[in-house]
Structure 1
Amino acid sequence: MDCQQAINNVIPVIHNPASVQKLLDAVKVSLGFGLRTIVVTKAVGTAAQQGVPEAFRLVLRSGATLIVLPDIKDAVELLHPDAVYFLSTRGDSMGNEVKGRVLIVIQASDQPFMQSELNLGRQIKVVGRDVGSTALLTLALNKLLGQCVE
């Protein structure tokens, strides 16, 4: 798959953000890798009130698309991905290439993913230590798209 296809087919899902900064950091990382579609699910508190409007501003400025949905299940139903990867410090190892449309889900709060969420896809071990959700997203995108970003 060429770089443009890969960039179009990788869709980050920023799940359950409560912090404005964590939400915006994940959006900036996604835009930095040139991703065209970013999804936010289950935003709460100040992330929902202040972070989502600010994220819209960043995304619109870059010409990308921001989709805000109630839950991960909605993203799966509406976007019809070929794979859903839940980024984590445990689980299966992540391959180096994108096969079809892929949702890459990060948990942007301090809670772990619920089992009902994990049942929608595969838990993927990005790195063995807790480096935070933004770092997990950055490392995963670098692994998948690093050769596409100059």
Structure 2
Amino acid sequence: MDCQQLMNNVIPVIHNPTSVQKLLDAVKVSLGFGVKTIVVTKAVGTAAQQGIPEAFRLVLKSGASLIVLPDLKDTVELLRPEAVYFLGTRGDSMGEVGGRVLFVVHASDQQFMPSEVSLGRLVRVLGRDVGSTALLTLALNRVLGSCVD
């Protein structure tokens, strides 16, 4: 797959953000790797009230799209990805990425619930807990790093 296809098909999903800063950091990282679509699910508190409008501003300025949905199940149902990767410190190796894929990070740095992980596959990005934004950065770099100038 060429870089343009990868940037169109790799979709970061920022799940359950509670902090404005964590939400915006994940959005900025995603935009920095040139992704064309970013999804936010289950935003709560100030992340929902202040972070979402600011995230929309950043995404629109970059020419990308932001989708805000209530839940991960809706994301999988509507976007119909070929694979859903829940990024973490445990799990399987990601392997080769092809087609439309979702990279899901838990923005409140909690563990994913079993009902959430049942929608895809838990993958190990790094064996240490470095936070959700760092996990997203490492996963995007693994897949899109060669596409970024």
Please classify the TM superposition score into its range, dividing by the shorter chain length.
over 0.9
Deviation at 1:98, TM superposition (A): 2.3
Contiguous gaps of at least 5 residues in structure 2: none
Q: Distance in 2 between matches of 1:91 and 1:110?
A: 16
Structure 1: which 5+ runs fail to align? none
- CA distance in structure 2 between the aligned counterparts of 1:91 and 1:10, rounded to whole angstroms: 20
Runs of 4+ in structure 1 over 2 Å off: none
> Offset of 1:51 from its aligned partner?
0.2
Q: Which residue of 1 aligns with 2:131?
A: 132
Q: Give the C-alpha shift of residue 110 in structure 1.
A: 3.1
Report the equivalent of 2:73. Answer: 73
User: In structure 2, what residue type is equivalent to 1:24?
Assistant: L
CA RMSD of aligned residues (A): 0.6
CA deviation map 1:35-76 (0-9, x unaligned): 000000000000000000000000000010000000000000
Residue matched to 1:10: 10
CA distance in 1, matches of 2:2, 2:124: 25
What SS class does the counterpart of residue 138 from structure 1 fall into? helix
The one-letter amino acid paired with 2:50 is: Q
Equivalent residue of 2:17, what SS? coil
Rounded Cα–Cα distance in structure 1 between residues aligned with 2:144 and 2:62: 18
TM-score (norm 2): 0.98
The 8 Å contact of residues 109 and 132 in structure 2, kept in 1 or not, is answered as no
Measured in 2, the distance between the counterparts of 1:105 and 1:73 equals 12
Work out whether 1:101 is the aligned partner of 2:100: yes
1:99 maps to a residue whose letter is G
The residue identity in structure 2 corresponding to 1:10 is V
Alpha-carbon shift at residue 142 of structure 1 (Å):
0.3
After TM superposition, the score normalised by the length of structure 1 is: 0.98
Distance of 1:129 and 1:94 partners within structure 2: 16
1:94 CA displacement: 1.7
Report 1:45-124 matches (<5 A).
45-95=45-95, 97-124=96-123
Q: Does 1:143 align with 2:142?
A: yes
